[in-house]
Amino acid sequence: MTIAMTPMPIATQSPGRESGGAAVMEKAPERVRKPSPRYKVLLHNDPVNSMEYVVTTLRQVVPSLSEQDAIAVMLEAHNSGVGLVIVCDLEPAEFYCETLKGKGLSSSLEPES
């Protein structure tokens, strides 16, 4: 007696599938993010306001400044004509600069280089 053997279909894998049936995700190329440009908030020497007022105002406007930092910025502006208040992104830098001006202090922005 002869038994006829019919060929069994060969299991094929679709692209992107492992033998366990899980999809293989190809990793997208990583995007390199450029850091946003940063700006210096500068305080200019002020012969009108008292040193105490300048220090108090700096601390109110830029909460991250400690009293010692605010004193150092004020003294730098007093002794050299300009003091570096903070370096940050454009939006907060504009806010700090304009708020200092609104409180009677002379301030400007400059790109960090």
Mean pLDDT over the full length of the chain: 86
Please identify, in words, the CATH class of the domain defined by 46-111.
alpha beta
What pLDDT band is residue 59 in, cutting at 50, 70 and 90? very high
Of 55, 39, 51, 41, nearest in space to 83 by CA: 41
Written as one letter, the residue type at 32 is: V
- Can you give the residue ranges of every domain in the chain? 46-111
Tens-digit pLDDT profile for residues 68-96: 999 999 999 999 999 999 999 999 999 99
Residue-level pLDDT at 27: 74
CA distance 93 to 37: 11
| CA distances from residue 59 to 5, 52, 70, 89, 98 in whole angstroms, order as listed | 90, 11, 6, 19, 15
Tens-digit pLDDT profile for residues 23-42: 777 777 778 888 889 999 99
Residue-level pLDDT at 33: 82
